[in-house]
Amino acid sequence: MDFNDVRLRYESLRDEIDNAIGSVLSGGRYILGPLVETFEDEFARYCGAARGIGVGSGTDALKIGLRAIGVRPGDAVLVPAVSAAATGMSVAAMGARPVFVDISLDDFNILPEQCLERKTSRTKAVIPVHLYGMPARLKEIGKAGLPILEDAAQAHGSDASWGRCGSFGVAAAFSFYPTKNLATYGDGGILVTSDATIAEASRLLRNYGQRENYSSKILGENSRLDELHAAILRLNLRRLDEWNGRRRAIAEKYREAFRELPIGLQAQTGKSNAHLFVVTTAHRDRLRSHLDECGVPTFTHYPVPLHRQKAFAEFRPARCPNADLLCSRVLSLPMHAFLSDADVDRVIETVHEFFKRKV
């Protein structure tokens, strides 16, 4: 059984992907070409945003997004204490200061009320993460009065009461890292926004600050999506809803099967894309060993919260007790669109077996 379907997705579209790669290679246009532009439009529309700016990774989408919305070196930016390192690093990498905010033990996302508490006059933005694909409570976070840059790296196609993830903030960053629900076979990312000024600034920032070759208006960088990845992403985007549908059906089956067990599940704030299926238990390490012995692959997302990472020590992070507790208990079960019903049943039985034996 595979933990994710990186390879299986390719197998299912092998001929289409191989042909698309062949046409790009023989076409002679490799970076920021017509396929990138078409994909940017298609994905922005899918998210309910007006524009998309393809970049080199999800981390770059966050960094460029921060600069485009006016965050400057020395400013403070609120980020949740539980996320991939990239969320905090994107802030630090552009010279700003990440301020870690605790998470909710219900939905595992940034605590809206603590955004208000940890905001100061130096705070210029907040980056809520839709962790594991579950929408963060953006309407409540909006009460802090800060520009919201959504970290939607795990939330392609997730929906909330306020709309699709990526459509609410002033901008939203997505990653196309191979394990994401919408992915390519390398690094890639996109910033989506309905704000024409942010879009224009981001286009300059990703390409040496220039619109036309050899005429740089601002200091930019090299972070561009290329044609090969855009060709692959266009094919995968057509399957995204179908694949998310299968993931959601599996998530529903897991939820139903674990109802009677003494394990915690992420509260449903909307319709997650089921990027990851995470359970929480005080017996995490023993459950993980049991699953491992039975051939069921698992991961921990994430074992160490951001405010405890050595890399962020210089920012003197404040206490985030919920994040500490969550990270000591989370376990991600196999979740992808190509799990068979028999695989899902085996995961469920193996988890049940552990709790039966433990009692």
Q: Which residues bind ligand PLP (CB under 6 A)?
A: 57-59, 83-84, 86-87, 129, 151, 153-154, 175, 177, 187, 189
Q: How far is CA 299 from CA 71, 129, 288, in A?
A: 34, 19, 8
Q: What token pair was written down for 289?
A: 């060993």
Q: Contact, 40 vs 22, CB < 8 A?
A: no
In the complex, least distance from residue 144 CB atom to ligand PLP, rounded to whole angstroms: 20
Label residues 182-203 b or e (16+ Cβ within 10 Å = b).
bbbbebbbbbbbbbeebbebbb
Q: Beta strands 189-193 and 171-175: pairing type?
A: antiparallel
With CB atoms as reference, the residue minimizing the distance to ligand PLP is 58
Q: Is 271 helix (H, G, I), strand (E, B) or coil?
A: strand
Provide the minimum distance between the beta carbon of 131 and ligand PLP in the complex, in angstroms, as a whole number: 7
Indicate the residue among 287 and 327 with the shorter CB distance to ligand PLP: 327
Alpha-carbon span 268 to 271, nearest angstrom: 7
- The SS3 call for residue 269 is coil
Q: Which is nearer to ligand PLP, 158 or 175 (CB)?
A: 175
CB of 56 to ligand PLP, least distance (A): 8
Helices marked H in 55-137 — which ranges?
58-68, 85-93, 112-118
Shorter beta-carbon distance to ligand PLP: residue 108 or 354: 108
Least distance to ligand PLP from the beta carbon of 130, Å? 8
For residue 350, with 0-12 CB atoms within 10 Å meaning exposed, 13-18 middle and 19 or more buried, which class applies?
middle
In the bound state with ligand PLP, the residue whose beta carbon lies nearer, of 89 and 331, is: 89
CB 258 within 8 A of CB 265: yes
Minimum CB separation from ligand PLP for residue 83, in Å? 5
CB of 167 to ligand PLP, least distance (A): 18
Considering the complex, state which of residue 153 and residue 320 has its C-beta at the smaller distance from ligand PLP.
153
In whole angstroms, the minimum distance from the beta carbon of 323 to ligand PLP comes to 14
Q: Which is nearer to ligand PLP, 87 or 322 (CB)?
A: 87
Q: Quick one: 177 or 258, whose CB is closer to ligand PLP? A: 177
Residue 175 is inside which H or E element, if any?
strand 171-175
3-state secondary structure of 144: helix
Tokens found for residue 195: 């704000």
Question: What one-character DSSP code corresponds to residue 341?
Answer: H
